[in-house]
Amino acid sequence: GYEGKEFYMNNVEPASRALDVYRDGSFDSFQFVANSGKDDVELIKTIKMRLSFLRGLTSGIAATKEAEILILDLVLKAEGDGTKALALDELDMCLASVEALAIWMGISRPSPMIRNKRVFDILEIIESGVLLDDMSDHVVSDTEKAHLREDLSRFAFGASPAGKKLAISLLQRLNSHLLAEAGKQA
């Protein structure tokens, strides 16, 4: 009945649209990008770089697919989803943490159960409204970061299609970061 239509219009349709925009890479279609002011140009550039990097990981590396849940939640919050919109600086901070999580997932390859638990734990932190200055400490622990550094030095990037995709995504993100620091367009 009417509740189903209302649920669809308020929840399913916006989520479907946001996921399509993310997977398509047409980030300028997001309302928070289209409605951003001149003061937000650099922040929007950074957010789009982060989304592009995450899209590269989640589209080609199965071990990072769960990160899409977080990305979709954050994008919907930034769009406003019927409530006060997530501020751009908060979105950027959260996406930086999701980048760390996706790298950890892609290289360390934890079990799906561990990945899902981590994603839903992070969703609870975001949902609580207490956005931490550095969420990455809650996303990837210090021990996991140490193991990640070891894994990075031993990782066979070209040994599998997923390894190649990870290497390409990491190098593209590094290139975007360096170009942004130099003030050039990526």
**How many angstroms separate the CA atoms of 68 and 5, rounded?**
25
**How many angstroms separate the CA atoms of 28 and 117, rounded?**
31
Diameter over CA atoms, the chain: 57
Structure tokens of 20? Answer: 């399509």
Q: Which DSSP letter does residue 111 get?
A: -
Structure tokens of 165? Answer: 């995709």
Averaged pLDDT, 51-63 = 94
Looking at per-residue confidence, does 157 or 115 come out higher? 115
Window from 13-17, 20-24, 46-50, 101-105 with minimum mean pLDDT: 13-17
pLDDT of residue 135: 67
Residue 85 has pLDDT above 80, yes or no: no
For the chain, what are the domain ranges? 2-181
Residue 68 has pLDDT above 80, yes or no: yes
Residue 69 has pLDDT above 90, yes or no: yes
Percent of the chain, pLDDT > 70?
A: 91
pLDDT of residue 133: 58
Instruction: Give percent helix, percent strand, percent coil of the chain, each to the nearest 5.
Output: 75, 0, 25
Q: What is the pLDDT of residues 113-150, one digit of tens each?
A: 999 999 998 888 888 876 655 566 678 888 998 888 88
Give me the chain's average pLDDT, please: 87
Percent of the chain, pLDDT > 90?
A: 44
Q: Which of 4-18, 77-91, 172-186 has the highest mean pLDDT?
A: 4-18
The three-state secondary structure class of 16 is: helix
Q: What is the pLDDT of residues 164-178, one digit of tens each?
A: 888 888 888 889 888
